[in-house]
Amino acid sequence: MKNLQTFNEFLNEERVYGMFNDSQGKPSKISQEILDICMKSLPKKIIDQISEVEAAGYFKSEMNTPPTISNKGQSRGVADYTSIIIIFKKPIGKGNVDSLEVGIRKRTSGPGTGYLAVAPSSGGSRVIPERSIAIEWWDSPEEGLKRLYDNELKNLIG
């Protein structure tokens, strides 16, 4: 029990709530869940570059939905995601990415399903033409983010 940190010991000047800065106030449970997904899914070389994280505020982020298998009666486009912004110590990868927005949207059509979207940015502008890329996940958003990183982000920020 002596090895456990108290909240006040864990607190530091730069990152008020653990890795989160205080620009959006205390992070919500969903913000903490998204960060947890990122920490489990992103490679160590990316995680080591994290300077701070900005929590989801009161507003949702508009990000793309995943492509559909068929166009029969299914919509495409954008949706509102709860997202966090991961800020890097220095720009990384070919795209000079200085921040990565990661959003999650849980679907009501079934338990353990949803969408995960990412939007890398450099100098305040998104660096991919689609603005954001998304993937659908079942049961494990961590596996969904790993696939999204391997298929789409690795060449840009890896």
Residue 143 lies in a domain: yes
3-state secondary structure of 54: strand
If one compares 127 and 103, the residue with the highest pLDDT of the two is 103
Decide if 121 is inside a domain. Answer: yes
Structural domain boundaries enclosing 79: 10-157
Residue indicated by tokens 């899914």:
41
In a domain, 3, yes or no: no
Q: What is the pTM of this model?
A: 0.81
Domain count, the chain: 1
Residues 6 or more apart in contact with residue 65 via CB below 8 angstroms: 75, 76, 77, 78, 79, 115, 117, 134
71 or 139: which leads in pLDDT: 139
Q: Convert the pLDDT of each residue in 6-55 to its tens digit.
A: 544 444 444 446 788 888 778 888 999 999 999 999 999 999 999 999 98
- Distant-in-sequence, close-in-space partners of 134: CB < 8 Å, separation ≥ 6: 63, 64, 65, 66, 115, 116, 117, 118, 148
For residue 106, is it within any domain? yes
Confirm whether 1 is domain-assigned: no
**Residue 35: inside a domain, yes or no?**
yes
**79: how many CB neighbours lie within 10 A of its CB?**
18
**Per-residue confidence (pLDDT) for residue 76, from 0 to 100:** 65
Sort 115 into a burial class: Cβ within 10 Å, 0-12 / 13-18 / 19+. Answer: buried
pLDDT over threshold 70, residue 69: no
Beta-strand pair 125-126/133-138: unpaired
Q: What is the pLDDT of residues 71-121, one digit of tens each?
A: 554 556 888 999 999 999 999 988 899 999 999 988 766 677 888 999 999
pLDDT beyond 60 at 2: no
The answer as to whether 85 is a domain residue is: yes
Query: CA-to-CA distance for 151 and 61, rounded, in angstroms?
Result: 23
2 part of a folded domain:
no
